[in-house]
Amino acid sequence: MKLRNIAIIAHVDHGKTTLVDELLKQSGSYRENQRVAERVMDSNDLEKERGITILAKATSVVWKDTRINIVDTPGHADFGGEVERILNMVDGAIVLVDAAEGPMPQTKFVVGKALKVGLKPIVAINKVDRHDARAQEVINEVFDLFAALDANDEQLDFPILYGSGRNGWMADSPEGPQDQGMAPLFDLVLKHVPEPTVEDAPFKMIGTLLEANPFLGRMITGRISSGTVKPNQTIKVLAQDGSLVEQGRVSKILAFRGIERQPIEEGVAGDIVAIAGLQKGTVAETFCDPAVETPMKAQPIDPPTVTMTFIVNDSPLAGTEGDKVTSRVIRDRLLREAEGNVALKIEESQEKDSFYVSGRGELQLAVLIETMRREGFEIAVSRPRVVFSKDETTGETLEPIEEVLIDVDEEYSGTVVQKMSERRAEMIEMRPSGGNRVRLMFYAPTRGLIGYQSELLTDTRGTAIMNRLFHEYAPYKGEIAGRTNGVLIANEAGEAVAYALWNLEDRGPMMIEPGWKVYQGMLIGIHTRDNDLEVNVLKGKKLTNIRTTSKDEAVRLTPPIRMTLERALAWIQDDELVEVTPKSIRLRKRLLDPNERKREERRKEAEGV
């Protein structure tokens, strides 16, 4: 059977996964009475809850005697490592662009990588049925983007389709016809995307996606570059430097058939398959015939820009809610994650009870923490810090700078510009984006953007949309002012009492409810002033046996501030930690004992830090 391999790339929320749903449906991959979930490719719980794609995944459809392997990719820049890896599996890409928003930062990032690899893109303008659609202007913006990314003449001569993924149609014009469904897109893929190029050589495949299967063990997915592979065949794994990682037998070969994966008797060159049976081989390594001596070259991956410390939970409530609490178990889990996710980097500290985890952004690390807590882990994590670099010639400190695109209502644009300039951002562009909205573009240090998302939504009454993308390493921009408020700290261990919380409401908003367990050093609220304050939340009302007619027993409390994981990570300071367990998210001081905190402050003052 003839083959085509394509990736669907776009910015977050432009409709990639919904489009894949329609392609599967209209190619006859489902039985007529089969019940299928919406966004079937978003398979794990976090993807379904957040409505975003986190992991790249493959599927396949058959159209006119040709098997089309489709790879659905994430739209968030934080998960860009997933996209960079899969580009060596495909020969073409469908660049999906929203008819109203136009090409956004993540589109630029992925398209740049795809053009560099030499892929010929097909541009699909999605959501043309939106009331604010501006398809023709968006096409011009896409062309300008391709030209800015040094596309060659062949890549600039891209075919264009218009349509609506949700309504299941694509056509040569925004008006339709809508009765042909996705057929124009399928036909264009067969015509425009070349067949996989195949070498005449023994079996070779570069590992692209890694997963653990409960029945088959480690499974590695990739595209076979040359030769064939069969079950029980002996193959070896070569690292990037050419050294032997392991040699073993293939126990099973699975190919993507619709949303199912089916065992096959032979994997042929050009097809995307998953191989089981090897114990150590991982992504970016070459799986090959024992006769092959040189590994295949893998795509270079951009370096991580943000790092966090994962610490063994040592709070008084440690081990009461989770069952995976020791450093050995946490270490094994993090190393397992780093194997399959090449954008993550794990380092051990000298004390052996904490680990430095570096990634592309807070969202990527927050998803890892959320996944771990659902698996029963208890950990404490520090505030995200940026990864600095050194200029090799001048020795100057460099920091990561991001390109930030903010769409906001005109009336709030002044506030956004002011807040961004306080965070050492430099404004590059300001232009209207239709409907009394303005599109602002900045180059801002990553340090200044940590924790800005929630502040931006507060400043703009929830109307702003922020997109960010790593731009470059540039000289250090100077100090950035952090949080202005202090915190309220519990001074004893026990259960919080409503009467005590009610008395403390003048001091600032609370983050806990009556009946919650607290311990010395735990953060229970935000102080209205800039200093930290230790308070007693266990003090109940002294009762007498004299009856009164007053209603002062009925304490009415203001609802507490709910700290989500992402908000907590962005809000804490360097001397604070977020304690994450399967049931709770608590905030605490790194040093729980107040005397130790004072000693640390005096030491810092003496050292002039």
Report the C-alpha gap between 540 and 88 in whole angstroms.
65
Q: Is the pLDDT of residue 582 over 80?
A: yes
Q: Choose between 78 and 466: higher pLDDT.
A: 466
pLDDT at 571: 86
pLDDT beyond 70 at 17: yes
Is residue 293 exposed (0-12), middle (13-18) or buried (19+ Cβ within 10 Å)?
Answer: exposed
CA distance 370 to 523: 21
> DSSP 3-state assignment of 61?
strand
Instruction: Give me Rg for the CA atoms of the chain.
Output: 27
Q: Going by DSSP bridges, is the β-strand pair 437-445/494-495 parallel, antiparallel, or unpaired?
A: unpaired
| Mean pLDDT (whole number) for 234-253 | 89
% the chain with pLDDT above 70 = 92
State the average pLDDT over residues 569-595: 90
Mean pLDDT, rounded, for 510-519: 91
Alpha helices in 149-196 (DSSP H): 153-156, 183-192
User: Percent of the chain scored above 90 by pLDDT?
Assistant: 16
Beta bridge partner(s), residue 275:
220, 253
Q: Which of 402, 399, 400 is nearest to 420 (CA)?
A: 402
Domains, the chain, with CATH or none: 2-192 (3.40.50.300), 204-288 (2.40.30.10), 389-475 (3.30.70.240), 487-607 (2.40.50.250)
Look at residue 44 in the predicted model and tell me its pLDDT: 62
Residues flagged as binding site: 13-18, 126-129
Average pLDDT, rounded, for the chain: 84
Q: Is the pTM of this model over 0.85?
A: no
- Is the pLDDT at 33 greater than 60, yes or no? no
Q: What is the mean pLDDT of residues 138-150?
A: 88
Check: CB of residue 521 under 8 Å from CB of residue 592: yes
Q: What is the pLDDT of residue 37?
A: 54
For the segment 167-186, the average pLDDT, to the nearest whole number, is 85
- Is the pLDDT at 522 greater than 90? The verdict is yes
Instruction: Look at residue 41 in the predicted model and tell me its pLDDT.
Output: 56
pLDDT of residue 116: 84
**Element containing residue 455 per DSSP (H, E):** helix 452-459
**Is pLDDT above 80 for 580?**
yes
Residues at the annotated binding site for GTP? 13-18, 126-129
Which secondary structure element, helix H or strand E, spans residue 475, and what is its range? strand 465-475
